[in-house]
Amino acid sequence: MIEVKDLKKSFETVEVLKGISSNFETGKVNLIIGQSGSGKTVFLKSLLNVYQPTSGEILFDGKDINKMSRDEKQQLRSEIGTVFQGSALFDSMTVEENITFPLDMFTNLTFREKKRRAFEVIGRVHLEKANRKYPSEISGGMQKRVAIARAIVNNPKYLFCDEPNSGLDPYTANIIDDLLLEITKEYNTTTIINTHDMNSVMTIGENILYLRMGIKEWQGNKDILINAGNKNLIDFVYSSELFKELREYFMKTNKTSIDNIITKPHSNE
């Protein structure tokens, strides 16, 4: 579980995060949404300790990251898996080498143990046939699955993803969403995802934090989102004509999510 208490972050005189408090539970997919410039990336980077907050607390299972010793921070780093925008794979390494990289960095496992662990997660993201390929030889969706496998190879307690669906077609984005939801349950991770993808919001949004101009404007799950009274949130989430119509359909039929009205692709496609 990650608890954030009255988090503020300024750059010189500009206050970007204006006192955000929120809890992110273990085993749940937590989504951070908001317009461009609302502070999502600064928020995520503050949780990852890339930015030092101006004030406030960030507790990882009860421990304040900003009061941790160097060793404790190093330990925490080994417990965090990250999926960055654009996958951020090493071009000169094969899929398997990319995935093994965190084990080389953070563990003393033997070569054989590392291979076994890499093999496990490669199977988990259905990339058995690609393990000897280079990133340039596989599709964007497969690259994203490699990034996810690399993020989970070390059995992380916390999983952070920055725009995991960016650059993917909607079909592949669904596969990635499903995979992230499944992995969150299987590994019992506290998963935090920055996203602009409203489809993700409506399908995997177990806890949604809506940021607006550096403040927490709304927090809830995908099922209560539909009836949320917050006009800014509704205007943001249902800004496209298609989603507006979907919302009207939900309201008319008393449905709360799109889970039962869309057919999902299988995650190994």
Ligand X SMILES: Nc1ncnc2c1ncn2[C@@H]1O[C@H](COP(=O)(O)OP(=O)(O)OP(=O)(O)O)[C@@H](O)[C@H]1O
Binding residues (CB under 6 A) for ligand X: these are 11, 16, 34, 36-42
Closer CB to ligand X, 9 or 117, in the complex:
9
Cβ 13 to ligand X, closest distance in Å? 10
Which of 196, 176, 70 lies closest to 126 in space, CA to CA?
176
Closer CB to ligand X, 20 or 76, in the complex:
20
Check if the beta carbon of residue 267 is closer than 8 Å to that of residue 126.
yes
Closer CB to ligand X, 36 or 253, in the complex:
36
Cβ 95 to ligand X, closest distance in Å? 28
Cβ 148 to ligand X, closest distance in Å? 20
Cβ 53 to ligand X, closest distance in Å? 13
**Backbone torsions φ then ψ of 211, nearest 5 degrees:** -100, 140
**Backbone torsions φ then ψ of 191, nearest 5 degrees:** -105, 130
**Euclidean distance between CA atoms 66 and 68, whole angstroms:** 6
In the sheet that holds 190-194, the strands lie side by side as 80-83, 158-162, 190-194, 29-33, 207-212, 215-220
Closer CB to ligand X, 11 or 171, in the complex:
11
